[in-house]
Chain A
Amino acid sequence: SQTIHQWPATLVQPVGSPLSLECTVEGTSNPNLYWYRQAAGRGLQLLFYSVGIGQISSEVPQNLSASRPQDRQFILSSKKLLLSDSGFYLCAWSTGSGELFFGEGSRLTVL
């Protein structure tokens, strides 16, 4: 069966520090991968998606970047965090024909 893991689960970082959130999927090949962000009390905002290794599409220009170094690995990064980067980050995968499967989420607080 397929599983998705993301980490860390919780992160507290100072403004201006770097960020790296990692997500891996097991049990499937060539998944579509996604990063979403949910600010407190807000809806899910699609940040990045990827259809294959090295292929990244950005939805919203911002202080973040994403990479897909391996088929089932998706990384969200920032060189210098802003206060507005605080939120609940969710990785997800799909086969492209229906349901999205979400990871457990990573809660980032930027102070």
Chain B
Amino acid sequence: GQNIDQPTEMTATEGAIVQINCTYQTSGFNGLFWYQQHAGEAPTFLSYNVLDGLEEKGRFSSFLSRSKGYSYLLLKELQMKDSASYLCAPWGNTGFQKLVFGTGTRLLVSP
């Protein structure tokens, strides 16, 4: 099975930097996904980390430590539109791509 732990909610102000942490335990490990989900909408893909280290993509970066079962999503220069839930999803080695999501971190960006 899988255990995924993320903070339930975070708040930040416009222009700031926020780091959303995710720890996981899974049977085998292929990689880790981060998705963004605005209220009432479907999740959209943000990043996929396979190797240890930081991957930067514009204002968003994602970090992975396979040995520690730890990842974080770093959001820079926060904008109001970044208010959303951020879902961590490790891809376990079940022999099939069965993606199980954490409960997500709800981020509220205020002016």
Chain A residues with CB under 8 Å of chain B are: 32, 34, 36, 42-44, 46, 49, 51, 59, 88, 90, 94, 96-105, 107
B interface: dominant SS: loop
B99 within 8 A of A: yes
A101 nearest CB neighbor, chain B only: B45
The complex places the Cα of A105 from the Cα of B44 at a distance, in Å, of 12
- Which size class do B's interface residues fall under? 10 to 19
Q: Are A94 and B97 in contact (CB under 8 A)?
A: yes
The complex places the Cα of A102 from the Cα of B42 at a distance, in Å, of 6
Q: Are A46 and B100 in contact (CB under 8 A)?
A: yes
CB distance from A88 to the nearest CB of B (A): 8
The complex places the Cα of A102 from the Cα of B90 at a distance, in Å, of 17
Write the B49-62 contact mask toward A (1 if CB under 8 angstroms, else 0): 00000000000000
With A49-B96, A49-B98, A97-B97 as known contacts, state yes or no: A42 contacts B45, CB within 8 Å: no
Q: Are A102 and B43 in contact (CB under 8 A)?
A: yes
**A residues near B20, Cβ cutoff 8 Å:** none
The complex places the Cα of A59 from the Cα of B99 at a distance, in Å, of 11
B50 nearest CB neighbor, chain A only: A98
